[in-house]
Every structure is written in C-alpha cells, then in structure tokens.
Amino acid sequence: MQFLSYLINGLGLGSVYAIIALGYTMVYGIAKMLNFAHGDVIMIGAYIAFFALARFGFPFPVAVLLAMLVCTTLGVVIERLAYKPLRQATSLSVLITAIGVSYFLQNGAQILWSSSSKVFPSVISAGSIHLGSASVSYLTILTILTCIVVMICLTLFINKTKTGSAMRACSEDKGASMLMGINVNRIISITFAIGSGLAAIASVLLASTYPSVYPTMGSMPGIKAFTAAVFGGIGSIPGAFVGGLILGIIEIFAKAYISTQLSDAIVFAVLIIILLIKPTGLLGKKINVKV
C-alpha cells in the first residue's frame, strides 16, 4: 500500500515542521514578534551536531544535547542583545531586526565554516520496519515519536508548572502579568530558550533526513514552519502541531501524486484556500476588537 507509506513519510516531515513551528508560535504568542532568525538557529544547531559527531566523534545523545545547549544560549543571547531593546518599538522594526540577525547568522556561518555543504553522518541505522506492505524507516519513526514526546512535555509544562502559567498569563496580557509580580523579561527569555532548544532537536532530525549541512539550510524549513504556524493559528501550540503535520502530509502527497516540481506551489495554494475559509488559521482564536 503506497498510500500508507506516503502518509507516514508525510507525518515524519510534518513532525519536523511542527517542532520548528512550535518555536515560532511560542515566541509570537508571548513576545508578539515574528522571529525570522529562527530558521538560522536551526542551521547553527545542525552545524554543532555535525562537528560533535563527525569531528569529535561524540555519541549521538551527547551531540544532540550539545546542539541544544548552544542553540538555547544563542536564542537567549539574541533576544537580550537584539530584541530586548526594542520592546517598545513597532512590530515592523523588530521584524527588520530579526532579518538582520538572520543575515548575521548566515554570513557568520559562511565565514566560519565556508558555504560548501557538509555531509551529515548517518547515525540512525538505515533499516526499516514493515507495516503490511508499507516500509517505514527507523528515522521517520524516531522523528514522529520525538515530535509526540515534545508535544506532551510542552503541553504539561505550559499547563501544569508555575512558569507555564506565567507564560500563559504573559500571552494574554503583559501589563496585567507584570502587576501580578511576573517577571515578563524572564518569561520572554525562557520562551526564546525553549524555542531555540526545540530548533536544535529539529535541526538534528532535519540534517539526518536530508544529510547536508550548509549556511542557508534553515531558510526554507523556516518559511515552511512559519507557514505551518500561521496555518494552525499563530500563537496556539496545538495549532502549530496540527499545522505542521498537515503541511508535511500535503507536501509529500503533492510530490507523490501531482508533481515534484510544483509541490511548493501546491502547498502554498492549499494554505491560501484554507485561510480563505478560516481566516485565523485552523485553531486560532478570533479576537473581537472593541471600539
């Protein structure tokens, strides 16, 4: 059954998009900004994992942890230096700053590690298991499982912990949360840290699926994940999850059944049609403006 294997591959790709989209949607929900440098944090994570595995021969879990550590630090540093001074500025100014950070990371990576692409070592065994007549690689299964675990942990964190409820409060009303004694700056830093840590996980999965690492590798998955976040309703965590999965499935199906070259066009066309029907995304809240 071809259909089943396409569906599972779609879920695999969608899981990567979903993990990246979580970073976009959390930052948007709390800091109300589009962090265009998120895709480039993924690229940095992939490079770190690559060096840890290929150059220093660290075991896989250590490489992932190292990538997460570096990305988390990077995310927090970027937020402190570039975005924090702009808390009061218009959203467009912050957007341009994020673009500046994105250029900086891409060109910095190019200078440090050259623009030629590096082959990411295959660490997850290439075998596959058979579900009926469909065969699914271990990597795809690992990707889907990772995404589910991340989703469960994040939902528990947001709903059950004190920091999580502080984050929800900040996304509702920053001024009121400040009056309640929540340190809003700290919450925003934590959000960036979590988003960037997730980006590191996504980077390892992405680099294992498409085994090449280069300075602009983050931009296209970044755009797709951003699309997924909006698709699901930006600011909503389950929305990012659902949006990412649907986007991945549509992309794989478009490639399989319609045309490989036109798959991007089809993905974005479906997005436009869905936004026409549900103008605030699949799970987005409709906010009524009071006059």
Partner 1 sequence: MKTASKLFSPGGDKMKRGRLISFALVIAAYIIIEILLKTGNLSSLFKSLLVPVTCYVVASLGLNLNVGISGELNLGQAGFMSVGAFCGICVSGMLANTITVPVVRLMIAMFCGACLAAVFGFLIGIPVLKLQGDYLAIVTLAFGQIIKSIFMNTYIGFDADGLHYSFVESKFKLQPGGKMLLNGPMGATGTQKIANFTVGIVLILIALIIIYNLMISRSGRAIMAARDNRIAAESIGVPISKTKMLAFVVSAFLAGAAGALYGLNYATLVPNKFDFNTSILILVFVVLGGLGNMTGTIISTIVLLILPELLRSLQDYRMLIYAVVLILIMLVTNNEWLKSRVKGFTSGKAKGGA
Interface residues with partner 1 (CB under 8 A) are: 28, 34, 36, 82, 85-86, 88-90, 92-93, 95-97, 99-101, 103-104, 107-108, 110-111, 219, 223, 226-227, 230, 234, 259, 261-262, 264-265, 268-269, 271-272, 275-276, 279-281, 289, 291
Q: How far is the CB of 44 from partner 1 (least distance, A)?
A: 15
Closest CB 82 distance from partner 1, rounded Å: 6
Q: Which is nearer to partner 1, 42 or 66 (by Cβ)?
A: 42
Residues near 224 by Cβ (< 8 Å), separated by ≥ 6? 17, 247, 251, 267
- Nearest to partner 1 of 126, 272 (CB atom): 272
Q: Give CA–CA dist 289/176, Å, rounded.
A: 19
CA-nearest of 264, 290, 215, 248 to 15 is 248
Q: How far apart (Å, rounded) are the C-alpha atoms in residues 143 and 11?
A: 9
**In the complex, what is the shortest distance from the CB of residue 67 to partner 1, in angstroms, rounded to a whole number?**
23
Residue 156 or 269: which CB sits closer to partner 1?
A: 269
Q: Compare residues 125 and 288 and give the one whose CB is closer to partner 1.
A: 288
**How far is residue 33's CA from residue 255's CA, in Å, rounded to a whole number?**
32
Q: At what angle do helices 2-31 and 138-160 cross, to 10 degrees?
A: 30
| Side chain identity, residue 140 | T
Nearer to partner 1, 165 or 259 (CB): 259
Classify residue 164 as exposed, middle or buried by CB count within 10 Å of its CB (0-12, 13-18, 19+). middle
User: Shortest approach of partner 1 to residue 271 CB, angstroms?
Assistant: 5
In angstroms, what is the minimal distance from the CB of 234 to partner 1? 6
